[in-house]
Each structure stands twice: as C-alpha cells, then as structure tokens.
Amino acid sequence: MTVKAFAAQSANGPLEPMPITRRAPSATDVQIEILYCGVCHSDLHQARDEWHNFAPTNYPCVPGHEIVGRVSKVGTQVTKFKIGDLAAVGCMVDSCRTCPNCTQGLEQYCKDFPTFTYNSKDVHSGSHTLGGYSEQIVVDEAFTLQVPANLDLAACAPLLCAGITTWSPLKHWKVGPGQKVGVIGLGGLGHMGVKFARALGAHVVLFTTSPGKIEDGKRLGAHEVVVSTNPEELGAHRGSFDFILDCVSAQHDVNAYLALLKLDGTLCMVGAPEKPLPVIAFSLLMPRKNFSGSGIGGIAETQEMLEFCALHQITCDIELIPIQKINEAYSRLIKGDVKYRFVIDMATLKKS
C-alpha cells in the first residue's frame, strides 16, 4: 500500500513530501491510521545525520516515533485490538524477543538491538524502517500500545518517547518522597521529567538556561528553578542531590552538575548530544558518585507509564502544527523555542 509521508533525502536538505510503501498486515500486525505524531529532538538528530558515528542515517529518512492513531486493519491472529480502537507506537517496532534483556521486558536493550521505528533494518521490506510522519504504519501488535481513553490524544503522543524516556530512569532509580531530584533542560523530555518526578513525590529542581521558562517550570511541577548560566545559583545546591536527569540535546558541562550530587548520587544522561561530553575523573571520585545513562523503555513499562498518566491526568504540553511547518519546527527546536513539544496534526498530510 502506498501512503503519503514526509522524508529527509539528505543531512542538509529539508523534509519534503514523499510517497512510501507499507506492507499488508500479517497475521499478528495492526495497521494504524496515524492521527498525531510528536516531534522529538532525536528526529532532528537522525534526519540531519548528527549521530553519524553511532547510528548513521539511511535516506530517505521518515522520522517520527511518538505515534497515536486509530486501528484501520488487523491481522487474523491479533487479539489486543479491533478496527477503530485507539493505538500507539513508540520508538521500537520489534526486537529478537528471546534474549535475556527482551525476556525481562527490556526490549530497548535487546542484545541484537531492537528494530527502531525509523532508521533500523526492516526485515519485511529489506530496506530500513520508516517512521510516523506518515499516514499509516503497520506494526506487530506486541509492539503496539493501548491508549487510555480519558487523555487528550494529541497531548498523549509525546508520552511514547519523551514520556517513557523520563519515566524509565525515574522508576529504575526509585525516585520518590524524601529525595531531591534535578531535571536539566526544559524541553520535550525535561518537562515530562519534571511532571513525573513531582508526581512520584520527590522534591524537584529544574535547571534551565532560559530565564523565560522559570514560571513554566514551577507550573509544570518544579519546587525550585535554577538558571544554570548563573554559577552562584548552581553552587548553592552543591552536594545535595540524590538523582539528576540530564535531558539536554547539545553540548554542556556535566561536571557542573556532577558537583551537585551527594555521596552515591546518580546523574543519568537521557539527552544524546552529537559530540562527546568530557567528564573529569575527580567529578566522580570525591565523594563517590554515579554517572549513568538510560534509553527509552520497554513495552510493558510503556503501558504502565500510560496507565499512570491516565490515573494522574498527566499529558504533555504541546503546540499542534501542520506537517507543512515541520522544517520551521526543527529550526525552533534548536533554539529551545518550544512549549514543550511540537505535535503534528497528521490530518494535514492529506493536503500535501
């Protein structure tokens, strides 16, 4: 089946309309008409081949891994969905399903690497996977999520990456009452990190380079907001944090934040800047500290996060855009000019 999509043809070119092919659903596949797709900074990194040394981009590149939509077809053995149901897809569409990591529900850490929603080898097409900036997607039901009925659909879409990517480390490091937790960078990931850390009961401090985001930081759940460009403001928090979640997309000095951890505190990277971040050994030695990282989250954990959101009425703060404005949205993302996630109204793709 041929469907409309938006694709980057090169690292330097804009995203433009392009027809793509979707497979006919197999017995365990669901076909989803995409209604909304969030715009993650990873989409931009990948479209522009900024992760060249780690995950070089295959062109044409159709980004998009924060997908919500309505089931338009189901395979003969599908049990979780029927036509007309809401459904969601995040960053992965498959994995080996048998390795020790997969069998523990950590498909994102599959030993063979999961099949990501875009830019991964696609066993079905023989080419590479194409993501959610498209009219329809076909995904095995095992990698398809159920969407709570009580949440705004467009504001739900970024939960599929920004949500789970911040939820997973907060749960893994058992963030909760009595802990002081920092979130660095108020973008798509950061604003969900603030919401979740607050909902889990921690004392939450947001670090931002943008003084204009102070009020929003508090509205979103931070107890305190620190403008990180001011060394005195940072210094006041020295040695006091249990956990810090680093959600920054560009170069920054992690040593300045490692200094804020207390004994055995952890700084976890979820941001994935293009270039390496130098860490001074002494930042980790005195006192003993952990510098860590976390990648998205497993399928069961993503469903659990969606259910937590339904219970606590948590969604993302979004700006809905037509797909024709995607290149402008990328330029604004680089400037930190988004409150706090762009979501594409996929109905606009029909006009391209």
Residues found near ligand NAP in the complex (CB under 6 A): 40-42, 45, 161-162, 165, 185-190, 208-210, 213, 247-252, 270-273, 294-296, 333, 336, 338
Which one of Zn ion, ligand NAP, none is in contact with 209 (Cβ closer than 5 to 8 A by kind)? Answer: ligand NAP
User: Alpha carbon 130 to chain centroid distance?
Assistant: 17
User: For ligand NAP, which residue has the nearest CB?
Assistant: 187
Give just the sign of the alpha carbon dihedral 199, 204, 209, 214.
Answer: positive
The dihedral region occupied by 285, where left means phi > 0, alpha psi between -120 and 50, and beta the remainder, is: alpha
Which one of Zn ion, ligand NAP, none is in contact with 102 (Cβ closer than 5 to 8 A by kind)? Answer: Zn ion
Q: Is 161 in the site for Zn ion (CB under 5 A)?
A: yes
The DSSP string of 309-329 is HHHHT----EEEEEGGGHHHH
Determine contact, residues 191/340, Cβ cutoff 8 Å: yes
Determine contact, residues 308/195, Cβ cutoff 8 Å: no
Report, in Å, the least distance between residue 270 CB and ligand NAP: 4
What is d(CA 352, CA 349) in angstroms, rounded to the nearest whole number? 5
What is d(CA 154, CA 315) in angstroms, rounded to the nearest whole number? 9
Which one of ligand NAP, Zn ion, none is in contact with 272 (Cβ closer than 5 to 8 A by kind)? Answer: ligand NAP
Report, in Å, the least distance between residue 168 CB and ligand NAP: 8
Report, in Å, the least distance between residue 83 CB and ligand NAP: 31
Nearer to ligand NAP, 264 or 337 (CB): 337
Report, in Å, the least distance between residue 37 CB and Zn ion: 11
Nearer to Zn ion, 144 or 249 (CB): 249
- Locate all alpha helices (DSSP H) within the chain, ordered by sequence: 41-47, 100-103, 153-156, 162-172, 188-199, 214-220, 231-235, 254-258, 282-285, 299-312, 326-334
In the structure encoding, which two tokens stand for residue 100, read together? 């020790």
Report, in Å, the least distance between residue 186 CB and ligand NAP: 4
Nearer to ligand NAP, 249 or 302 (CB): 249
DSSP 158: G
Q: Residue 293 is inside which H or E element, if any?
A: strand 290-293
Q: Is 40 in the site for Zn ion (CB under 5 A)?
A: yes
Site for Zn ion in 105-124 (CB under 5 A): 110
Which one of Zn ion, ligand NAP, none is in contact with 183 (Cβ closer than 5 to 8 A by kind)? Answer: none
Nearer to ligand NAP, 211 or 287 (CB): 211
Site of interaction with Zn ion (CB under 5 A): 40, 42, 95-96, 99, 102, 110, 161
